Amino acid sequence: MDRLFDWIFWITVVVMVLVQGAIVVLMIRYRHRAGRKARYIHGNARVEIIWTIVPAVILGVLTYSSKQVWTAIRYAPELRPRAVKSAKILVIGQQFKWNIIYPGPDGEFGEYLVYPKPSDLRWPDGKRHGGVIGPRDLPADQVEFEINRYISVENPLGKVYDDPKGKDDDYEGAMARVMEVPVNRPVDVYLTSKDVIHSFTLPNFRVKLDTVPGLMGVFTFTPTVTNKQLGPPGYFEIACQELCGQGHYTMQGRMVVISQEEYAAKYETHGGGANP
Amino acid sequence: MSGKLPAHPLDHPPVGWLKRYIYSTDHKVVALQFLFVSLAFFALGGLLAMLIRWQLAFPGDVNHPVPILGKVMGWADGLMPPDFYNMVFSMHATIMVFFVIIPLLVNVFGNYLIPLKIGARDMAFPFMNGLSFWMGLPAGAIMLAGFFLPGNAAAAGWTSYPPLSAIWQNNPAEWPIVPLVMNFIAGFLCFGYVCSHCIQLGNRFLNVGVSILLSAVAAAGWVMMVQTIAFDGQSAWFLSLLVLGFASLLGAINYITTVAMFRCPGMTMFRLPLSVWSLFITAILVLLATPVLSAAMVMNLMDHHRLTGFFSDGGVPLLHQHLFWFYSHPAVYIMILPAMGMVSDILAVFSRKPVFGYRPMVYAMGAIAFLGFVVWGHHMFQSGMNPALGTTFAISSMLIAVPSGVKVFNWLATMWGGNIRLTIPMCNAVAFVSMFVIGGLSGIFMASTPVDIYITDTYFIVAHIHYVLFGGSMFGVFAAIYFWYPKMFGKMMSDKLGYVHFVLTFITFNCTFFAMHILGIGGFPRRYADYTNFQLWAHFKPMNQFISYSAFALALAQIPFIINFIGSWFWGRAAPANPWQANTLEWTEAASPPPAGNFIRIPVVHRGPYEYSSPLVAEDWLPQTRVLADSIGTNG
């Protein structure tokens, strides 16, 4: 991708210098002189064809190489050989923090972001809140308060507890924690959002994707060096790059690349809650 | 207006001062009304930009509180709160796009130039034409009302993506007095325009009395309705663009009909000046794209009132983006095509040469307009839409660079072999070409999907859009204002002030916006009130300060323009009918300024608009209407 950037950069620089140079040369060479008449030319079909075809070919090549790189990046989970086991991480954007969830030993996420509606018979977590089994049993003036409490305090991630895939997920303390990823192993980051659209960005890794409520996006990257080897400051920065409200600019996260063994020990041998 | 229109036999029957200068249906008066209002909005949008730059130069710096505003608003330490910053850049972009550049290019020059250049006495629907201006006023008033509401104006960016834009900024309540009065006045003026043309009771005093009464009642009803629908800044934003959309449609229908039906004898489609072609194609874009935006605005309003859930509350947020960009990408071409057309005219006049490749230029504009409708997805590469669509839109976006390139090469070829007079309009037109090239080339980075992953939502995008819209459109507008000012006001503008304005603007513009490319390549994010907590970007502070100082200088560089614009009106040298020795009808057939009805008699056209330096005549220009003895040379 950086190579593609360099190519486009040099092509555009050359074109820009040529055109700007041409403008200056034309302005000087053909400046007004009394008693001279301009050339009376209406056009020339041959040059029109040349300056249509040549840029079209250059752009065609750029489009083709863009397509190759794009496919390799965005379809990485599908294109990868099955034997390669990627590290999966679920990121849920929320004003103004990132929730980081690991799938545990089974490598699969449970269901999240399920929240009660005033008409529901039962609370989604199967427990009692506000002294009743479902929001429908609450008096009208308490419904909104209890639902908001459920969303913000009781079960902020909207986790569905009886989903078998989610039993071993590492979701406790998901909010605003440091995201840890293994080195030299593809990392699939699954992205969604709890409230508004955010954009999960790792500028150092040239990846970025919007987190959209109701949609699950995914991108892949492979870190090649751990933060320990890199030295200070010992982490990479995560930024939000889609306007998400007043605290948009504070939505900073941290990512640390750790060794594969460390990652496996921390996140892939046992279920959630047990990691230090 | 100069105040003295020369009388001639075809002048309209005498009408009162009000109908001649205020509630006029004359296309030139409507154009000038648009011009003054848009320039006022330009000043407001520019001041908002200064606030943005102040914040980015001194984020959280107690030694540099925001001047004046910091005290007026009573901010702690005079520092701008982040939600206020969000509001400022949202409104800067909204005002510049919808209330400055689109009206300046489409409404001002569409209105002024189309009838004059095609040899028509007025627009096809003069009443509707006036209405498009007077409906624009309430739209502007609703937008400005946002500033006075408790939650402040819209702060979700100029794209207003839901669900963020669905969040209430304040609870529904009665508006404060200032926006109420402002909107009452705007509504009163709008209804007054309709009444002044529709109420004919036979007696003048009766007419005026009934009109005032009716307008006041209607305006009161309008204000009640508006304050209910637009209870916070964001809903005011939606409603304002809905109303503005109607106004644009009225204009667009007018321009299309006028060009199609009101051309004078001999004015075939391929003898139209390129400026008219560009405005014609732009009007088609407006006509086809605006309803989509209006639909999106209605849906957003209903969502905002919690009546529906199209985009939020379980709806599909991406749907808004698709609808919004389906309008707003063609809008990008609405904002550049007229400038391209007018610059083509100006380059030909001052190179004293025919436009190189007239027909390819027309076809290129047609291609840009058509492709403009199928590239909207390139604003959404990282939005989470299906990646397969990314490739589709990358192909169409790369494709649209081809006709844009064709136009640039044709402009260069127009200058080649010319006898170039570097007047002020010509300087601005050449600057347009030069800046448009930079803006166009930086677009290629974005069209390349993998590169876009990194640079989208960074300052690279900000640099690109400003090179296209300020470097492109605004230099085009400046060129056009300097070029047609003598025709509009009958006075020549000062050359000295013009050169000062041009040189200063050109230098400070490039200092401001070229540096933004470098920030963008560093990944510097858009829409951040404060970047100093990121070690990735904190070191860009000196660069931001350089940009800010350049931006302040850019704002100051507009002062000579303001002095020139107002001063020349009062003290300028009287302009001859054709100060530039141009060929087209507005110069050769109409006085400066043209009277009501434009022409003494409808002109007859014998040739294309760009017969400069023709071998058939001794001088280097050959008006479209001139009859040559041997009647050849009708090419072009």
Residues B307 and B324 both lie in one domain: yes
Tell me how crowded residue A208 is: count the other CB atoms within 10 A of its CB.
25
Chain A residues with CB-CB distance to B421 below 8 A: 32
Chain B residues with CB-CB distance to A59 below 8 A: 398-399, 401-402, 444
Residues B313 and B169 both lie in one domain: yes
Query: Measured between CB atoms, does B115 come within 8 Å of chain A?
Result: no
A212 to chain B nearest CA, in Å? 7
Domain extent, residue A7, equals 1-19+53-74
Residues B307 and B354 both lie in one domain: no
Residues A200 and A122 both lie in one domain: no
Residues A264 and A184 both lie in one domain: yes
Q: Say how far apart CA B351 and CA B364 lie, in whole Å.
A: 21
pLDDT band, residue B87 (cuts 50/70/90): very high
Tell me how crowded residue B409 is: count the other CB atoms within 10 A of its CB.
22
Q: What is the CATH number of the domain that holds A243?
A: 2.60.40.420
Q: Say how far apart CA A216 and CA A92 lie, in whole Å.
A: 10
Query: Measured between CB atoms, does A176 come within 8 Å of chain B?
Result: no
Query: Measured between CB atoms, does B609 come within 8 Å of chain A?
Result: no
Q: How far is CA B388 from the centre of its chain?
A: 34
Residues B402 and B426 both lie in one domain: yes
Q: What is the mean pLDDT of residues A98-106?
A: 92
Residues A64 and A125 both lie in one domain: no
**pLDDT the model gives residue A124:** 87
Residues B554 and B595 both lie in one domain: no
Domain count within chain B? 3
A265 to chain B nearest CA, in Å? 30
**pLDDT the model gives residue B412:** 95
Exposed e or buried b per residue across B514-533, where buried means at least 16 C-beta atoms within 10 angstroms of its C-beta? bbbbebbbbbbbbbbbbbee
B209 to chain A nearest CA, in Å? 49
Q: How many contacts, defined by CB atoms under 8 Å, are there between A and B?
A: 256
From A19, A63, A217, residue closest to B394, measured CB to CB:
A63
Residues A234 and A211 both lie in one domain: yes
Residues A222 and A248 both lie in one domain: yes
Question: A28 lies in a domain?
Answer: no
Question: A29 lies in a domain?
Answer: no
Q: What is the mean pLDDT of residues B157-167?
A: 93
Residues B629 and B559 both lie in one domain: no
More confident site: B188 or A10:
B188
Cross-chain residue pair A27–B406, CB shorter than 8 Å? no
Question: A214 lies in a domain?
Answer: yes
Nearest to B584 by CA among B28, B118, B120, B257: B118
DSSP B273-325: -HHHHHHHHHHHHHHHHHHHHHHHHHHHHHHHTTS--SSSTTS-HHHHHHHHH
Question: A244 lies in a domain?
Answer: yes
Residue B47 scores a pLDDT above 90: yes
Question: A138 lies in a domain?
Answer: yes
B292 to chain A nearest CA, in Å? 22
Domain count within chain A? 3
Residues A101 and A217 both lie in one domain: yes
What's the pLDDT tens digit per position in B550-596?
999 999 999 999 999 999 999 999 999 999 999 999 999 999 999 98
Cis previous bond, A139, omega within 30: no
Cross-chain residue pair A41–B356, CB shorter than 8 Å? yes
Residues A147 and A253 both lie in one domain: no
Cross-chain residue pair B387–A51, CB shorter than 8 Å? no
**pLDDT the model gives residue B4:** 45
Question: B599 lies in a domain?
Answer: yes
Question: A31 lies in a domain?
Answer: no
Question: A192 lies in a domain?
Answer: yes
Q: What type of residue is B415?
A: M
Last residue of a domain, one of B335, B362, B388: B335
Residues B328 and B405 both lie in one domain: no
Q: Say how far apart CA A122 and CA A130 lie, in whole Å.
A: 12
**Torsion sign over Cα B269, B271, B274, B279:** negative
Residue in chain A nearest B169 by alpha carbon: A245
Question: B343 lies in a domain?
Answer: no
Residues A208 and A238 both lie in one domain: yes
Residues A206 and A99 both lie in one domain: yes
Q: What is the mean pLDDT of residues B445-452?
A: 91
Which residue, among A11, A37, A91, would best test binding to B if mutated, counting the most B CBs under 10 Å from its CB? A37
Residues A263 and A229 both lie in one domain: yes
**pLDDT the model gives residue B43:** 96
pLDDT band, residue B472 (cuts 50/70/90): very high
Residues A101 and A236 both lie in one domain: yes
Last residue of a domain, one of B529, B551, B574: B574
Residues B376 and B497 both lie in one domain: yes
What's the pLDDT tens digit per position in A109-156?
999 999 988 888 888 888 888 888 888 888 888 888 889 999 988 889
Domain extent, residue B108, equals 19-335
Tell me how crowded residue B538 is: count the other CB atoms within 10 A of its CB.
12
Residue B2 scores a pLDDT above 50: no
